[in-house]
Amino acid sequence: MNNNKISIIPTLILITIKIIGSWFAQPPKPPDHSEEMDGHYEYVEDVIASAIEMKRESEMSEYSGVFEMQQGEITEEEVIEAMRHISSHKAQGSDDQ
C-alpha cells in the first residue's frame, strides 16, 4: 500500500503540469465585441467630459467676483504702496537670476 501512494504522487504532478501548461499555452482570446458595446467608450468619454465641464462652470460662477477683483486695473496708489514694502536692500532687476 505504501508503494501505491509513492507512484501516484508523481503521476498527479505530471497531470497537473500538463493541464496548467496547456491552459497557459493557448493565446488569450480577444474580448467579445457585441453591437451593444459599439460606441460605449465614446459615450463614457462624453459623460466624463461633460461632468468636468459642469464642475468647471459651477466653480467659475461661484468665484466670479474673486476673478473680476483680481483682473481689475492697478492704480498708481497701489503701485506706490507696494513699493513702500520693498526692502531697501533689494537689488534691481528680475528675481529669476
The 10s digit of each residue's pLDDT in 53-65 is 998 888 877 776 6
Q: Within the chain, where are the H helices?
A: 2-25, 40-62, 64-70, 76-84
Unique residue bearing C-alpha cell 459599439: 38
Rounded to the nearest angstrom, the gap between the alpha carbon of residue 72 and the centroid of all alpha carbons in its chain is 35
Domain boundaries, the chain: 38-68
Question: Residue 21's pLDDT is what?
Answer: 84
pLDDT in tens, 63-78: 766 666 666 788 899 8
Dihedral, CA of residue 60, residue 61, residue 66 and residue 67, to nearest 10: 50
Question: Which grid coordinates are listed for 44?
Answer: 463614457
pLDDT averaged over every residue in the chain: 78
Question: Which grid coordinates are listed for 95?
Answer: 528675481
Is pTM beyond 0.75? Reply is no
Whether the per-residue pLDDT at 35 is higher than 60: the answer is yes
